[in-house]
Structure 1
Amino acid sequence: MFPLRPPLLRSLLTRRSLSTAPDPLPKDANWPLYLSIFGVSGLALWVYWQKTGQLQWDPVKNAQERRRGPTAALDRDEFRTFELKRKEPYNYNTSRYVFALPEKTATLLPVAACVLLKAADDETGPKDDKGRPVVRPYTPISDSRKVGEVDFLIKKYETGKFTPYLSSLEPGDKISIKGPLPKFAYEPNKFSQCGLIAGGSGITPMYQLLKHSLSIPEDKTHWTLIFANVSAKDILLKEEFDALAQAHPDRLNVVYVLDKPEKGFTGPTGYVTKELIKQHLPGPELGEKTKLFVCGPPGQVAAVAGKKAGMKQGELGGALKDLGYTEDQVFKF
């Protein structure tokens, strides 16, 4: 680069009043030469960066990507393999599993929806009684737009076919995931009051529903959750539910039920009964303005709402039928 001559530098730094025209550029200024050098140098740098891949800038493409947000990491028609990033103990029989997703992707699950998990290697993974790979549905607890990760809270069943295998995985090991599998298409303000009855690890779809609804300012739906467990140490996501209830006292009420309560517990004890449902949840007289969701161990679901028929809802039964609810008012996860 050529240095600026003193007369030129002085003329560039001198400012006069608006009523006086600025000094003309000195006659000996080499502006055409400077501009041509800068232009040629800039063009050369641009070509070099493009060829070496050090500069990849498409204003239109980048604006579209920012507007679109993350892309979907999953495929509903085939399993994709993901690496276990972290495994964190949650309590004595449940762990949080965090799987890595590709860069700039997220699960983008609709609410409510789950995914299917199976071993990444069908040959070494668990098999069912017919020799087929074991596949299990789970609902992530992380936000569906969380980029680069997906979190699951999964309880280990010692006699189960899949969770002992899952609990044996270490960071760096892989799992296969397929989804989403839509379960219930939630619409804000479609219902004025909703009831949730959950037991044990069946709480995750309820958490997905509540987080989604309560994050929508214009949604005025009121929720009541009855969450049944054996003891206090079995309550999953309690801190999260308590925080949601505190942040939305006009929209969420949480009722914890324990079968074997510790000293000082003041909530209901035993099982989820007709009396408990009638006391806390919206009644069937609200018609189409109410909806009850049920998820938990098969025995609890059967006692509360009747058995599911595989992936289908099955006939309504149990306590909810006795209380007068209709099949349209109840959904079983």
Structure 2
Amino acid sequence: AHMEEKGEDAAAKVALNPEKWLEFKLQEKATVSHDSELFRFSFDPSTKLGLDVASCLVTRAPIGQEVEGKRKYVIRPYTPISDPDSKGYFDLLIKVYPEGKMSQHFANLKPGDVLEVKGPIEKLRYSPNMKRQIGMVAGGTGITPMLQVVRAILKNPDDNTQRFP
């Protein structure tokens, strides 16, 4: 019985499923700037999201009316800004565009509302010490996956990847 318990701990439970849309509840949102908001979505607090460094998740929201019994969706990828090892929540920083279908959907969410999410989608495979040096150039929302890589390097004392100030 003891080995079974240990085995269950070793296999980390994850909240995401790459094959299936799952609902995550908005726990809270906060204004960051005149056009950006931080959204915290919650799930089982004993579970990790299941997103590798620099991977993204995909969100979807119903848009418009059903046509011939079919629902139309807008689908967008996002990279959480929260630590991939966080349990029970993930954070998305969203720039709200006046004409943005998905960003307007986010802007209208209230705590307790749900967001449909699927993933992970691997964008860049990163592993400690995979390169001696890493240089990054990013702008706008492209900075989020880079932030994930930088945090992973700084968090791991065994990662000797050179960083430049």
Gaps of 5+ in 2: 66-70
Corresponding position: 1:157 with 2:97: yes
Residues 116, 137 of structure 1: 8 Å contact kept: yes
Compare relative contact order (CA 8 Å, sep 6+) and give the higher one, 1 or 2: 2
1:109 alignment partner in structure 2: 51
RMSD over equivalenced CA pairs, Å:
2.0
- Separation of aligned partners in 1, 2:96 and 2:79: 15
Q: Select 2:33's aligned residue among 79, 91, 106.
A: 91
Aligned to 2:75: 135
- Out of 139, 150, 154, the position equivalent to 1:214 is 154
CA distance in structure 2 between the partners assigned to 1:212 and 1:69 by the alignment: 21
Query: Could you give the per-residue CA deviations for residues 49-74 of structure 1, whole angstroms, max 9, x where no partner exists?
Result: xxxxxxxxx75554444x32741101
Higher helix share: 1
Q: Give me the whole-angstrom Cα distance separating, in 2, the residues matched to 1:208 and 1:97.
A: 17
TM-score by length of 1: 0.45
Gap change, CA 1:220 and 1:59, over 3 Å in 2: closer
Distance 1:171 1:116, change over 3 A: same
> Which residue identity lines up with residue 54 of structure 2 in the other structure?
A
Bigger radius of gyration among the two:
1
- 15, 22, 29: which one aligns with 1:80: 22
Task: Give 1:200's aligned residue.
Answer: 140
Contact 1:70 1:145 in 2 (8 A): no
Q: Is the 8 A contact 1:70 1:106 kept in 2?
A: yes
> Distance between the aligned counterparts of 2:52 and 2:64, measured in 1?
29
Letter in 2 for 1:198: A
Instruction: Measure, in 1, the Cα distance between the counterparts of 2:11 and 2:42.
Output: 18
Structure 1 unaligned residues grouped into runs of 5+ = 1-57, 224-251, 254-333
Counterparts of 1:101 and 1:69 in 2: how far apart (Å)?
18
Given that 2:53 and 2:84 are in contact with CA atoms closer than 8 Å, whether structure 1 keeps it comes out as: no
**Structure with the higher fraction of residues in strand conformation:** 2
1:189 aligns with 2:115: no
Contact 1:126 1:161 in 2 (8 A): no
1:156 is displaced (CA, Å) by 0.7
Matches of 2:30 and 2:108, distance apart in 1: 13
Structure 1 segment 48-87 matched on structure 2, within 5 A:
59-65=2-8, 67-68=9-10, 70-87=12-29
Distance 1:68 1:144 in 2: 17
Look up the equivalent residue of 2:86 and give its one-letter code.
K
> Aligned in 2, Cα 1:214/1:75: closer, same or farther, shift over 3 Å?
same
Alignment length, in residue pairs?
160
Instruction: Label 1:107 to 1:217 Cα distance change in 2 as closer, same or farther (>3 A).
Output: same
